[in-house]
């Protein structure tokens, strides 16, 4: 795709909205040289539907987050012609979807289940441009944990780092030391697949590289 955004001034560039309140997703976008103009997290019930597969759940939730963000800007305002990015991440062992751990027992159960085995992390990213045309990608990453001792599980649970994390862990934190092997996208496991996100924005016409020049 030809990038003709060099003539755009910073003020003339379209707004960018991250439909999330996740500090990890924000940091990943910033790593890619993009600074959102607004954060619009959605308050959703993320409970899986009956017999819902991990792939189906993560797609549904990412789309719902995008819909919620778009709904807040449809009646004009500074973000009426913005680009939107939404994402969701699910950790699963087979078809079993692990929770976003909120209590210590949930975190310990997740660690015992993940210990010594391979699990899958699914992250769906959806974007929409000013005309609300949707683009999306689903990224699947396989992660294998070492076999964890009871002391390691107890120590990790005591850290509290697991709270609110899909599958009860954050790969960029202490749990990174449990990972024996990863096949796929590291940034997707953190919460936002950078390659796919930038490709989607670029394909929809967002001036990605102009933002890079501003940061230089």
Active site residues: 88
How far does CA 182 lie from the centroid of its chain? 17
């Amino acid at each position: 795709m030809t990038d003709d955004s060099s003539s755009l001034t910073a003020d003339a560039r379209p707004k960018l909205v991250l439909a999330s309140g996740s500090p990890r997703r924000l940091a990943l976008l910033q790593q890619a040289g993009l600074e959102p103009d607004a954060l619009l997290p959605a308050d959703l019930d993320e409970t899986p539907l009956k017999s819902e597969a991990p792939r189906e759940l993560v797609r549904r939730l990412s789309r719902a987050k995008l819909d919620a963000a778009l709904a807040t800007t449809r009646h004009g305002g500074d973000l009426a012609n913005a680009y939107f990015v939404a994402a969701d991440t699910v950790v699963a062992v087979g078809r079993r979807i692990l929770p976003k751990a909120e209590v210590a027992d949930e975190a310990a159960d997740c660690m015992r289940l993940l210990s010594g085995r391979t699990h899958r992390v699914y992250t769906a990213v959806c974007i929409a441009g000013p005309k609300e045309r949707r683009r999306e990608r689903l990224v699947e990453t396989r992660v294998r944990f070492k076999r964890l001792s009871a002391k390691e599980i107890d120590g990790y649970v005591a850290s509290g780092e697991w709270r609110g994390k899909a599958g009860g862990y954050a790969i960029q934190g202490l749990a990174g030391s449990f990972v024996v092997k990863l096949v796929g996208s590291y940034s997707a496991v953190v919460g936002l697949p950078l390659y796919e996100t930038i490709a989607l924005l670029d394909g929809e016409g967002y001036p990605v590289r102009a933002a890079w020049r501003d940061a230089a």
